[in-house]
Amino acid sequence: MFRRAFLTAGVLGAAVGVPYAASRWPELKASVFGAAGPNSATSTGAFNSASNYSAVPQLPAVAPNGIPMGAGLNPQADETPMVDMAEAFRWETTPQWVFSHWPRVSSGLPGEQLQGMRVALISGLRVDDVAGSLTYYFNASQKCAKITFSGTTGDPNRIIQLLVSRYGFKPVGSSDPGVVRYEIRWNGEAHSFFMVRPSAIVRSSTPYTKYEVQASISDPAVK
Protein backbone atom coordinates (compact mmCIF):
# COMPACT_ATOMS: atom_id res chain seq x y z
CA MET A 1 0.00 0.00 0.00
CA PHE A 2 2.85 2.33 0.90
CA ARG A 3 4.66 1.62 -2.36
CA ARG A 4 1.58 2.27 -4.50
CA ALA A 5 0.63 5.48 -2.70
CA PHE A 6 4.22 6.66 -2.75
CA LEU A 7 4.76 6.15 -6.46
CA THR A 8 1.41 7.55 -7.56
CA ALA A 9 1.34 10.56 -5.26
CA GLY A 10 3.32 12.48 -7.87
CA VAL A 11 6.58 14.26 -7.55
CA LEU A 12 4.78 17.53 -8.23
CA GLY A 13 3.70 17.47 -4.61
CA ALA A 14 7.02 19.11 -3.78
CA ALA A 15 5.72 22.33 -5.30
CA VAL A 16 2.79 22.43 -2.91
CA GLY A 17 3.12 23.92 0.51
CA VAL A 18 4.61 27.08 1.96
CA PRO A 19 8.19 27.25 3.29
CA TYR A 20 8.43 27.44 7.06
CA ALA A 21 9.34 30.78 8.58
CA ALA A 22 13.01 31.27 9.35
CA SER A 23 12.03 32.05 12.92
CA ARG A 24 11.22 28.34 13.36
CA TRP A 25 14.82 27.30 12.73
CA PRO A 26 15.61 26.19 16.33
CA GLU A 27 12.34 24.23 16.39
CA LEU A 28 13.21 22.57 13.07
CA LYS A 29 16.67 21.57 14.24
CA ALA A 30 15.22 20.07 17.41
CA SER A 31 12.65 18.18 15.34
CA VAL A 32 15.16 16.79 12.84
CA PHE A 33 18.06 16.08 15.16
CA GLY A 34 16.20 15.33 18.37
CA ALA A 35 18.10 18.19 19.98
CA ALA A 36 17.09 20.35 22.91
CA GLY A 37 18.46 23.52 21.37
CA PRO A 38 19.98 25.04 18.24
CA ASN A 39 23.55 24.07 19.17
CA SER A 40 23.08 20.47 20.31
CA ALA A 41 22.37 18.58 17.11
CA THR A 42 22.40 14.77 17.30
CA SER A 43 21.46 12.03 14.90
CA THR A 44 18.01 10.53 14.51
CA GLY A 45 19.68 7.22 13.70
CA ALA A 46 18.49 6.84 10.11
CA PHE A 47 19.84 3.57 8.65
CA ASN A 48 23.27 3.68 10.29
CA SER A 49 25.54 5.53 12.67
CA ALA A 50 27.16 7.48 9.82
CA SER A 51 24.51 10.14 10.38
CA ASN A 52 25.89 11.03 13.84
CA TYR A 53 26.34 14.77 13.43
CA SER A 54 27.86 15.23 16.85
CA ALA A 55 30.82 13.12 15.63
CA VAL A 56 31.74 15.69 12.96
CA PRO A 57 34.85 17.41 14.34
CA GLN A 58 35.79 21.06 14.32
CA LEU A 59 37.58 22.22 11.18
CA PRO A 60 41.36 22.33 11.36
CA ALA A 61 43.02 25.36 9.83
CA VAL A 62 44.12 23.44 6.72
CA ALA A 63 42.83 20.23 5.14
CA PRO A 64 45.21 17.27 4.61
CA ASN A 65 45.60 18.24 0.94
CA GLY A 66 46.62 21.80 1.83
CA ILE A 67 43.33 23.47 0.84
CA PRO A 68 42.27 26.27 3.25
CA MET A 69 39.13 25.24 5.08
CA GLY A 70 36.04 27.32 5.71
CA ALA A 71 36.86 30.10 3.28
CA GLY A 72 34.27 32.87 3.37
CA LEU A 73 32.68 31.60 6.59
CA ASN A 74 32.37 33.37 9.91
CA PRO A 75 35.02 31.57 12.02
CA GLN A 76 32.81 31.96 15.09
CA ALA A 77 29.77 30.37 13.40
CA ASP A 78 29.03 26.75 14.25
CA GLU A 79 25.48 26.48 12.93
CA THR A 80 24.65 23.79 10.38
CA PRO A 81 23.88 25.81 7.23
CA MET A 82 21.03 25.19 4.81
CA VAL A 83 22.22 24.02 1.39
CA ASP A 84 19.66 23.53 -1.36
CA MET A 85 19.04 19.90 -2.33
CA ALA A 86 19.71 20.50 -6.04
CA GLU A 87 23.00 22.19 -5.17
CA ALA A 88 24.13 19.51 -2.73
CA PHE A 89 23.59 16.51 -5.05
CA ARG A 90 25.75 17.35 -8.07
CA TRP A 91 28.98 16.11 -9.63
CA GLU A 92 30.38 19.63 -10.05
CA THR A 93 31.08 19.78 -6.30
CA THR A 94 34.73 20.40 -5.34
CA PRO A 95 36.58 20.20 -2.00
CA GLN A 96 36.88 24.01 -2.01
CA TRP A 97 33.11 24.30 -2.42
CA VAL A 98 32.51 21.93 0.51
CA PHE A 99 34.84 23.85 2.79
CA SER A 100 33.25 27.17 1.84
CA HIS A 101 29.68 26.00 2.54
CA TRP A 102 30.02 24.11 5.86
CA PRO A 103 31.76 25.31 9.04
CA ARG A 104 32.30 21.69 10.17
CA VAL A 105 33.70 19.02 7.83
CA SER A 106 35.01 15.55 8.60
CA SER A 107 37.68 15.02 5.95
CA GLY A 108 40.20 12.37 4.98
CA LEU A 109 37.68 9.53 5.36
CA PRO A 110 39.03 6.25 3.97
CA GLY A 111 37.26 4.53 1.13
CA GLU A 112 38.01 3.11 -2.31
CA GLN A 113 41.22 5.15 -2.72
CA LEU A 114 39.08 8.30 -2.65
CA GLN A 115 39.13 11.28 -0.29
CA GLY A 116 35.90 11.43 1.72
CA MET A 117 34.40 14.62 3.16
CA ARG A 118 31.35 14.29 5.40
CA VAL A 119 28.99 17.12 6.36
CA ALA A 120 25.60 17.50 8.01
CA LEU A 121 23.04 18.46 5.37
CA ILE A 122 19.82 20.38 5.94
CA SER A 123 18.42 21.29 2.52
CA GLY A 124 15.72 23.70 3.71
CA LEU A 125 12.72 24.34 5.94
CA ARG A 126 10.03 22.50 3.96
CA VAL A 127 8.64 19.12 4.94
CA ASP A 128 9.89 17.72 1.61
CA ASP A 129 13.46 18.84 2.32
CA VAL A 130 16.04 16.38 3.67
CA ALA A 131 18.36 16.33 6.68
CA GLY A 132 21.15 13.89 7.37
CA SER A 133 24.75 12.90 6.77
CA LEU A 134 26.15 13.74 3.31
CA THR A 135 29.55 12.47 2.14
CA TYR A 136 31.46 13.44 -0.99
CA TYR A 137 34.29 11.28 -2.33
CA PHE A 138 36.96 12.85 -4.55
CA ASN A 139 39.66 11.24 -6.69
CA ALA A 140 43.28 12.40 -6.97
CA SER A 141 42.22 15.01 -9.55
CA GLN A 142 39.70 16.46 -7.06
CA LYS A 143 36.75 15.31 -9.18
CA CYS A 144 33.68 14.05 -7.33
CA ALA A 145 33.36 10.30 -7.96
CA LYS A 146 30.76 9.30 -5.37
CA ILE A 147 28.08 10.86 -3.15
CA THR A 148 26.39 9.10 -0.24
CA PHE A 149 23.55 10.29 1.97
CA SER A 150 21.73 8.88 5.00
CA GLY A 151 18.96 10.88 6.64
CA THR A 152 15.28 11.70 6.90
CA THR A 153 12.50 13.65 5.22
CA GLY A 154 8.83 14.34 5.73
CA ASP A 155 7.99 13.79 2.05
CA PRO A 156 10.41 11.88 -0.25
CA ASN A 157 8.83 12.82 -3.58
CA ARG A 158 11.04 15.86 -4.13
CA ILE A 159 14.37 14.08 -3.73
CA ILE A 160 13.06 11.19 -5.87
CA GLN A 161 12.21 13.62 -8.68
CA LEU A 162 15.68 15.18 -8.43
CA LEU A 163 17.54 11.86 -8.57
CA VAL A 164 15.35 10.43 -11.34
CA SER A 165 15.61 13.49 -13.58
CA ARG A 166 19.28 14.28 -12.91
CA TYR A 167 20.86 10.83 -12.70
CA GLY A 168 18.37 8.47 -14.34
CA PHE A 169 17.41 6.38 -11.32
CA LYS A 170 14.72 3.79 -12.08
CA PRO A 171 12.42 1.96 -9.64
CA VAL A 172 13.23 -1.69 -8.96
CA GLY A 173 11.59 -4.42 -6.93
CA SER A 174 12.38 -4.91 -3.25
CA SER A 175 12.06 -7.98 -1.04
CA ASP A 176 10.92 -5.69 1.78
CA PRO A 177 7.34 -4.47 1.15
CA GLY A 178 8.03 -1.35 3.20
CA VAL A 179 11.00 -0.24 1.09
CA VAL A 180 10.95 1.72 -2.16
CA ARG A 181 14.22 1.19 -4.06
CA TYR A 182 15.70 2.91 -7.12
CA GLU A 183 18.88 1.96 -8.96
CA ILE A 184 21.19 3.01 -11.78
CA ARG A 185 22.63 0.05 -13.71
CA TRP A 186 25.79 -0.09 -15.77
CA ASN A 187 26.59 -3.19 -17.84
CA GLY A 188 23.86 -5.09 -16.03
CA GLU A 189 25.05 -4.25 -12.52
CA ALA A 190 23.72 -1.64 -10.08
CA HIS A 191 26.40 0.93 -9.27
CA SER A 192 24.05 3.42 -7.53
CA PHE A 193 20.97 3.04 -5.34
CA PHE A 194 18.38 5.07 -3.47
CA MET A 195 16.05 3.67 -0.81
CA VAL A 196 13.10 5.06 1.15
CA ARG A 197 11.27 3.46 4.05
CA PRO A 198 8.84 4.77 6.69
CA SER A 199 10.50 5.58 9.99
CA ALA A 200 10.03 2.99 12.72
CA ILE A 201 8.18 5.56 14.85
CA VAL A 202 6.35 8.53 13.32
CA ARG A 203 5.28 11.35 15.63
CA SER A 204 3.13 14.30 14.66
CA SER A 205 5.56 16.54 16.55
CA THR A 206 8.43 15.55 14.20
CA PRO A 207 7.00 15.85 10.66
CA TYR A 208 10.49 16.06 9.12
CA THR A 209 11.38 12.48 10.07
CA LYS A 210 8.49 10.45 8.65
CA TYR A 211 10.75 8.64 6.18
CA GLU A 212 14.31 7.35 6.29
CA VAL A 213 16.27 7.78 3.06
CA GLN A 214 19.62 6.40 1.96
CA ALA A 215 21.54 6.97 -1.26
CA SER A 216 24.83 5.95 -2.82
CA ILE A 217 25.55 7.57 -6.19
CA SER A 218 28.69 6.67 -8.14
CA ASP A 219 30.01 8.09 -11.41
CA PRO A 220 31.51 5.16 -13.39
CA ALA A 221 33.36 7.62 -15.61
CA VAL A 222 35.44 9.03 -12.70
CA LYS A 223 38.22 6.83 -11.37
CB neighbourhood size of 196 (10 A): 22
**202: CB partners within 8 A, 6+ apart:** 209, 210
pLDDT of residue 150: 96
Q: Is residue 88 part of a domain?
A: yes
Q: Can you give 115-172 as a three-state secondary structure string?
A: EEEEEEEECCCCCCCEEEEEEEEECCCCCEEEEEEEEEECCCHHHHHHHHHHHCCEEE
Domain that holds residue 19: 2-218
Secondary structure (3-state) at 185: strand
Q: Is residue 25 part of a domain?
A: yes
Q: Is residue 143 part of a domain?
A: yes
What long-range pairs does 183-186 form, CB within 8 A, spacing at least 24?
184/217, 186/220
Number of structural domains the chain divides into? 1
Q: Is residue 223 part of a domain?
A: no
Asked if residues 136 and 145 have their Cβ atoms less than 8 Å apart, the reply is: no
pLDDT tens for the 223 residues of the chain, in order: 433 333 333 332 332 222 333 344 455 555 555 544 333 333 333 333 333 333 333 333 333 343 333 333 333 456 788 999 999 999 999 999 999 999 999 987 766 688 999 999 999 989 999 999 999 999 989 999 999 999 999 999 999 999 999 999 999 987 888 899 999 988 778 899 999 999 998 888 888 899 999 999 998 788 7
Q: Is residue 7 part of a domain?
A: yes
Q: Is the pTM of this model over 0.85?
A: no
